[in-house]
Structure 1
Amino acid sequence: MRTELITIPTPTLPLDGAFHWPDDRPIRGAVLLFHGNTMNFYTGAPRFLPRALTRLGLACLAFNRRGHDILSIRDSRAAEGAAFQLTHEAIEDNALAARWLAARGHDAPIVIGHSNGGMLAVPHVVAHPQTPCLVLLSAHAGGRQNENVSRIGLFAGERFAEIKAQAEALVAAGRGRELIVLPHWWYVTSAEAFIDRTTQLPNTLELAPRITCPVLYVRGDQEPAAHYPAEAFQARAGGPCDVEIVPDCDHFYKGREDAVAAIVAGWLSQRLGLAAD
């Protein structure tokens, strides 16, 4: 495959990314790749999937949302990253990336999202009903699940109520971008991002009936079904939905990247009639 580093403008910070396309065969379609929370376009699924997908003739756009990594800087010492992420910006970023692809002749790309990117992929596909296929890689349940996530030792953990009150007080005082240390992943967040995370996330299962395109929902066998609800989504989906549970596999597919890539490529090949030459 060939790769070009690209930049997508937004109303505030630009989105950096990589556009991959097959070097030895015609382009037969395109894919939008949405990264997981605090991740980026060069780690996880957006990194390991393009090699398999370009063999099917699919061009792939992997890009950073404004909420990438945890904290970062760009061309100054001004902080950016997932500590400041807001749901409406993430949804807008995905739409802008789709527009970038459409301007290059790919106006109905396949959508693939991992974890938080999978949760965000669901409302994106609702808003883009021409999407031919959706692949959810350990997409989380969304909605108001962060208190439940805290109970299993993530996010604010046992300090959820305390930190929520702190965040609410900072936002009320006009200090929404002030940082708060979290006891667990993702370790640090702004007050307004904490409140956004607990009140504004799309609900994956509530939106499932509005997804009518074919869906593949992948989950590792080490992931709790309550938080990554493949079977529940399948039961509620408005169209066909296949579920694959990958054995010996965690949330990040560590050591199982090839298996996941083969599942995704094989399913897309069957659904769309694409064959690797």
Structure 2
Amino acid sequence: MRTELITIPTGTTPLDGAFHWPEDRPIRGAVLLFHGNTMNFYTGAPRFLPPVLTRLGLACLAFNRRGHDILSIRDSRAAEGAAFQLTDEAIEDNRLAAAWLAARGYDAPVVIGHSNGGMLSVPHVVAHPKTPCLVLLSAHAGGRQNERVSQIGLFAGDRFAEIKAQAEALVAAGRGRELIFLPHWWYVTSAEAFIDRITKMPFTLDLAPQITCPVLYVRGDQEPAEHYPAEKFRDRAGGPCDVEIVPNCDHFYKGREAAVAEIVAAWLARRLGLSAD
């Protein structure tokens, strides 16, 4: 495949990414890749899927949302990253990336999202009904799930009520971008991002009936079904939904990247009538 580093402008921080396309065969379609929470376009699924998908003739756009990594800088010492992520911005970032592809002639790309990117894929596809296929890679349930997530030792852990009160006080005092340490992944967040996270995320299952395109929902067997509800999504989806549970597989598909890529590529090849030949 060939790769071009690209930048997509926004009203604030631009989105950096990579556009991959097949070098030895015609482009037969396109894919939007949405990274997971605190991740980026060059790790995880946005990294290991393009070499496989381009063999099917699919051009792939992987890009950073404004909420990428945890904390970062670019051309100054002003901080950016997932510590400041807001749901409305993330949804807009995905829309802007789709518009970038549409301007190049790909107005109905396949959408593939991992984890938080999978959750964000669902409202994106609802807003883009021409999407031919949706692949959810360990998409979390969204909505007000974070107190439950804390109960299994993530996010704010057993300090959820304490940190929630701290964040609310900072936001009320006009100090919403002030950082708060979290006891667990993802370790640090701004007060306004914490409140956004527990109040504004869409519910994946509530939106499932509005998804009418074919869906593949992948989950590792080491992931709890309560938080990555593949079977419930299948039962509520407005169109066909296939579920694949990958054995010996964690949330990040560590050591199982090839197996997940094969599952995704084979499913897309069937659904889109593509071949790697």
Q: Residue 276 of structure 2 aligns with which residue? A: 276
Q: Which runs of structure 2 are paired with 1:164-175 in the superposition (5 Å)? A: 164-175=164-175
Query: Which residue is 2:96 aligned to?
Result: 96
| SS at structure 1 position matched to 2:160 | helix
- Alpha-carbon deviation of 1:170? 0.1
In the TM superposition, what is the alpha-carbon distance from 1:157 to its structure 2 partner?
A: 0.2
Distance 2:14 2:114 in 1: 21
Partner residue in 2 for 1:19: 19
Q: For residues 125-274 of structure 1, what are the structure 2 equivalents within 5 Å?
A: 125-274=125-274
Cα deviations by residue, 1:135-154 (Å, 9 ceiling, x for unpaired): 00000000000000000000
Amino acid at match of 2:12: T
Gaps spanning 5+ residues in structure 1: where? Answer: none
C-alpha distance in 2 between matches for 1:69 and 1:169: 26
Whole-angstrom CA distance in 2 between matches of 1:47 and 1:126: 25
Give the aligned residue type for 1:152.
I
Q: What is the alpha-carbon distance in structure 1 between the residues aligned to residue 52 and residue 37 of structure 2?
A: 23
SS for the counterpart of 2:56 is coil
CA distance in 2: counterparts of 1:184 and 1:166, whole angstroms: 16
User: In the alignment, which residue of structure 2 is the partner of 1:72?
Assistant: 72
Deviations 1:31-72 (A, max 9, x none): 000000000000000000000000000000000000000000
Aligned equivalent of 1:4? 4
Letter in 1 for 2:154: L
For 2:99, what is the secondary structure of its paired residue? Answer: helix
CA distance in 1, matches of 2:201, 2:255: 30
| Whole-Å separation in 2 of the counterparts to 1:122 and 1:11 | 23
Q: CA deviation at 1:108?
A: 0.2
Cα deviation, residue 123, structure 1: 0.1
TM-fit CA distance, 1:229: 0.1
Q: Distance in 1 between matches of 2:274 and 2:91?
A: 29
The residue matched to 1:245 in structure 2 has which SS? Answer: strand
**Mapped partners of 1:237, 1:78: distance in 2:** 42
Amino acid of the structure 2 residue aligned with 1:56: L
Once residues 30 and 106 of structure 1 are traced to their aligned partners in structure 2, the CA distance between those partners, rounded to angstroms, is 6
Spell out structure 1 runs of 4+ moving beyond 3 A. Answer: none
Aligned to 2:114: 114
2:80, 2:270 → 1: CA distance?
40
1:58-110 deviation line (CA, Å, top 9, x unaligned): 00000000000000000000000000000000000000000000000000000
CA drift at 1:161: 0.0
d(CA) in 1 for partners of 2:25 and 2:228? 36
Q: Which amino acid aligns with 1:95?
A: R
Q: Secondary structure at the match of 2:201?
A: coil
Q: Secondary structure at the match of 1:3?
A: strand
Unaligned segments of structure 2, at least 5 residues: none
- Inter-partner Cα distance in structure 2 for 1:107 and 1:251: 30
Deviation of the 1:133 alpha carbon:
0.1
Identity of paired residues, percent?
88
Deviation of 1:217 after TM superposition, in Å, equals 0.1
Secondary structure at the residue paired with 1:216? strand
Task: State the secondary structure of the residue aligned to 2:189.
Answer: strand
**What secondary structure sits across from 1:19 in the alignment?**
strand
How far the C-alpha of 1:18 sits from its partner, in A, is 0.1
RMSD: 0.2
**Structure 1 residue 11 displacement after superposition:** 0.3
Q: Which deviations, in whole Å up to 9, do the C-alpha atoms of 1:184-207 show, x marking residues without a partner? A: 000000000000000000100000
Question: Separation in 2 of the partners of 1:113 and 1:203?
Answer: 15
